[in-house]
Structure 1
Amino acid sequence: MARKHNERAEPCPVARGVDLVGDRWALLIVRDAFDGVRRFGDFQRGLGVARNILADRLRTLVEEGILASQPASDGSAYQEYVLTAKGQDLFPVIVALRRWGERHLFAPGEPHSVLVRRDTGAPVGELALRTADGVALSATETYVRKVAPGA
């Protein structure tokens, strides 16, 4: 997952984020980690990704602090990959992509996976950007304040 730019010099948070997790395999690894996948072989079987690509993406995600590698919880010689706090913070990103895909990439009534609450099995509600006092915002109600050159 070679970076095209020096992401630390990029003043745009979106560009920095895309440089790190904008790759298809990186996002799908993170998605699967949220679903409880922890072992290399399980990621590979579920994703159908080549071993060398998976190894590269896992290494990068660990180096960047999104995943942590730890000894297997069952005491075997395997390693497991778990989401760190930084990785857990990607949950709204994954959910936003899911919601966009549900809305725009499936025909009405076409079956697809559904995000549900673990404790009740009830579908999760819509994701919305809100102000600090809870008011929902649309894209037209926001703008990006750019960093001044040389700042």
Structure 2
Amino acid sequence: MTVSEMASDQSLWLSDGVSGPLPSEETTRRLLIHHGWLELAPYGRTQSRSLATEKTVKGGYGQNIDPSGKHSIRLSGGARSFPFPVFWKERLPEVAASLGWPKIISSVSDFKWKQERLSWLLNDYAYLPTPALSELSGMGTATVKRAKAAMAPSASIH
């Protein structure tokens, strides 16, 4: 199952009576990277692609697949192959549970004020994309961007 298919599978995310938004494909990808299921690998000069980590492959949770069937990552290198990560369907509940999406949803609803929600999200989940933080906190996208920028370490001039 690809990351986009995983993101759209409601049964993986909203279990145990938790209701809320589903993570987008990018949010799912960032959660998987943060929890060590995927890693970013360089591709071209300025691009990167996400691939399954050794933990994912050796643990039997998924694999990197090259749909072209013409090239091997090991033999031809990354420039000639087009791999992407897939997760085995029978292992998906374990992977999704490790990401803690229902916990994020239920914890966000504990905060009364939007600013409290955003502060909590930025402290613990700043790696999530801005649209996801905006949706979870109830704040506008521009407000989330400003808050993220304010959190970034400022460059000191010597």
- TM > 0.5 fold call: no
Greater share of helix: 2
| TM-score of the two chains, using structure 1 as the length reference | 0.32
If asked which structure has higher relative contact order (CA below 8 Å, sep 6+), I would say 2
Structure number having the greater strand percentage:
2
TM-score, normalised relative to structure 2? 0.31
